Amino acid sequence: EDKVVQSPLSLVVHEGDTVTLNCSYEVTNFRSLLWYKQEKKAPTFLFMLTSSGIEKKSGRLSSILDKKELFSILNITATQTGDSAVYLCAVSTGTASKLTFGTGTRLQVTL
């Protein structure tokens, strides 16, 4: 059975801190790993990673994948209160590209 595990489950930081969110996976027929941000509505896409060692970056967010050790990290630098959300990691598998999600990391950024 495909499995995606995220850690920590929740995190409280002060504005300006840097955070690292972790995602490990154990799946068959790996295609890609995706990160989503979920506030009180639809998950919004952040990154898709397919190759090991290549960092993807968007503003203060960055992510990297290690296909040998089967994990990915999502970094957020200089956190802001607007970064408060649940961050979901998902792995796409098989020909249909269905997503298997972790339980998410709930990030709260305080002033």
Partner 1 sequence: GAGVSQSPRYKVAKRGQDVALRCDPISGHVSLFWYQQALGQGPEFLTYFQNEAQLDKSGLPSDRFFAERPEGSVSTLKIQRTQQEDSAVYLCASSLAVWSGDEQYFGPGTRLTVT
Q: Least distance to partner 1 from the beta carbon of 101, Å? A: 3
CA–CA dist 110, 40 (Å, integer): 18
Q: Could you say which residues in the range 50-109 bind partner 1, by CB under 8 A?
A: 88, 90, 92, 95-104
C-beta neighbour count of 59 within 10 angstroms? 8
Asked if residue 45 binds partner 1 (CB under 8 A), the reply is yes
Q: Least distance to partner 1 from the beta carbon of 70, Å? A: 17
First to last CA, the chain: 41
The first and second tokens of residue 74, run together, are: 């999502």
Q: Which residues bind partner 1 (CB under 8 A)?
A: 4, 31-32, 34, 36, 41-45, 48, 88, 90, 92, 95-104
